Amino acid sequence: MISTALDIAQALVRFPSVNPDYDPASAGEGAVTQWIEEWGRAHGFTVWRQPVLPGRENILLQFRNGADHPHFMLNGHTDTVGVGGMSIAPFSGEVRDGRLWGRGASDMKGPLACMMAAGLRLKNAPSTWHGTLTIACMADEEFRFRGVTAMLDQMVGRDSVEPHLERSEASKASNSGEATDSRDARFARASSVGKWGSTESHPTGKVATESHPASGLPDFAVVGEPTRLRVVRGCKGCLRFAIHALGRAAHSSKPHEGRSAVVAMAHAILELERHFATRLAQIAAPGFGTSTGSIGLISGGTGVNIVPERCTIHVDIRLLPGQDWRATHQEIQSLLGARCRQVPDVQWQFDEPSVVDPSFEFPASHPLVTTACAVLGQPAPDIVFFSCDASKLAARGVPVIVLGPGDIAQAHTVDEFIALADLEAGTEAYEKLARSLMPAA
């Protein structure tokens, strides 16, 4: 039976699970979560399944070893970014040159496999620790964190604020495989959308109807984003929104009759760059550096012979602890309203943010941080700049660190891989940390 981190990681990489928000033709996380569910059941874990979006589910593998607490959660995600432009076969799971190659190898099917392998080792040595271990496999980390949000909402007994039906017709259609249909039918009676359903068979032959995983919120959590196995006690947050310039179209032979939205946006971009370099650069926190801004997308115009009526940019701001995203968003609106009148008769439109992801920070003296640093032999914890599921756990008061094998520099790349040695080191680190946080009674 598959039990090593390498074998598990290879199996996970071989199931395509591109987040459908990056590729509408992708079937999403369904196949990989089905495999994890079966793996967990085969190894005797209590398995919880939670629909998040159509065909996209969270899976929790849980083992209660003598007590509900301490409750330690190893948290990973099953979705990946897209595979466009990759220079290797994305789903081959090839092992070559001491590395496992493929989309998700480092972000984060490799780290998730380490969590599962560590969980299995712990389950097979119950006398060495005491408490409840949960391996949480989240959907939709790469786009809008709706998996972890749904899990936490359910754990605290609140319905998710996100609607559960936000899927394109194309991806719905591609997800109507037989396995998914039969599983949905089997568990629909046990749980409504967004609710937990235990996938353990009841002794009576019926599906168990417990509505909630044991123990509620965990006492400690680790999110396994690749950090080269460095303990991370804080991450920057993220604010994303679109800005539209609305001008007036005209034939390009009479440009004076139009109002070019593209030219107006060009002025706005220069103003924004100045704002990032001056105002955002003043917002600082120890260890985090400063808030930053980046304009990542631009589109405008419909033809070379038409003065463009519309131009849109997408802005990405990285947030620090204590930074009020509403104030940051408002400042930018005010700035453009006041300073971008170089092209008259152009209107500015600001969308509500598409992403608001808070930053998080735990003190270096927090017992979870000091315990993890002691286990890893790391003198002081780090802070990183990327966003992940950890801030959502922290926002609910769950002590959380980010700690995973592999390098974030390898995430989302054209030739993603994880070193086999890192898979072994990651498994050992999670196992040792679990024993330290849940010592034998």
Q: How far is the CB of 123 from Zn ion (least distance, A)?
A: 25
Stretch that binds Zn ion, among 110-118, 190-198, 220-228, 314-322 (CB under 5 A): 220-228
Options 106-114, 243-251, 305-313, 337-345: segment touching Zn ion (CB under 5 A): 106-114
Which residue's structure tokens are 């809008």?
144
- Say whether 330 sits in a helix, a strand or coil: helix
Closer of 111 and 131 to Zn ion (Cβ): 111
Of 51-59, 192-200, 219-227, 338-346: span binding Zn ion (CB under 5 A)? 219-227
Whole-number Å distance between alpha carbons of 185 and 439: 41
Nearer to Zn ion, 29 or 107 (CB): 107
Give the range of 118-126, 144-152, 222-230, 313-321 binding Zn ion by CB under 5 A. 222-230
Fill in the amino acid letter for 120.
L
| 8 Å CB contact between 380 and 370 | no
Round to whole Å and give the CA distance between 99 and 90: 14
Binders in 224-263 for Zn ion, by CB under 5 A: 225
Q: Within 13 Å, how many C-alpha atoms sit on residue 330's CB side? A: 5
Q: How far is the CB of 139 from Zn ion (least distance, A)?
A: 12
Least Å distance, CB 56 to Zn ion, is 16
56-77 and 220-223 beta bridge pairing:
parallel
Residue 107 or 309: which CB sits closer to Zn ion?
Answer: 107
Of 54 and 76, which CB lies nearer to Zn ion in the complex structure? 76
Return the bridge partners of 407, or none. Answer: 227
- Minimal distance, residue 127 CB to Zn ion, in Å: 34
Report the nearest approach of Zn ion to the CB of residue 88 (Å): 19
Q: State the Cα–Cα distance between residues 164 and 175, nearest whole angstrom.
A: 15
The answer to whether 390 contacts Zn ion (rule: CB under 5 A) is: no
Spatial contact of 137 and 40, defined as CB atoms under 8 Å apart: no
Residue with Cβ nearer Zn ion (8 or 245): 8
Is the Cβ of residue 105 or residue 262 nearer to Zn ion in the bound state?
A: 105
Task: Report how far apart, in Å, the C-alpha atoms of 297 and of each of 79, 243, 248, 329 are.
Answer: 23, 10, 22, 18
Least distance in Å: CB of 8 to Zn ion?
Answer: 17
Nearest approach, Cβ of residue 388 and Zn ion (Å): 6
First to last CA, the chain: 30
Residue 225 vs 428, nearer CB to Zn ion: 225
Residue 227 bridge partners (DSSP): 407
The minimum distance between CB 246 and Zn ion, in angstroms, equals: 36
Handedness of CA 175, 162, 189, 209 (dihedral sign): positive
| One of 107, 140, 389, 407 touching Zn ion (CB under 5 A) | 107
The smaller minimum CB distance to Zn ion, of residues 80 and 180, is found at 80
Query: Contact region for Zn ion (CB under 5 A) — 108-116, 162-170, 179-187, 296-304?
Result: 108-116
The closest alpha carbon to 373, from 219, 228, 229, 224, belongs to: 229
Stretch that binds Zn ion, among 78-86, 112-120, 122-130, 223-231 (CB under 5 A): 223-231
Instruction: Return the residue of 5, 52, 108, 122 that touches Zn ion, per CB under 5 A.
Output: 108
Q: Minimum distance from CB of 53 to Zn ion (Å)?
A: 18
Least CB distance from residue 414 to Zn ion, whole Å?
17
Q: Give how many residues touch Zn ion by CB under 5 A.
A: 3
- Per the omega criterion (within 30 degrees of 0), is the bond before 439 cis? no
Phi, psi of 18 (to 5 degrees): -65, 130
Q: Which is nearer to Zn ion, 306 or 395 (CB)?
A: 395
Residue number, 108 or 438, with CB nearest to Zn ion: 108
Which residues are CB-contacts of 400 (< 8 A; sequence separation ≥ 6)?
A: 75, 220, 221, 222, 223, 360, 362, 368, 390, 393, 394
| Alpha-carbon gap, residue 421 to 5, rounded angstroms | 10
* Cα–Cα nearest to 112, from 83, 135, 80: 135
> For binding to Zn ion (CB under 5 A), which residues are involved?
107-108, 225
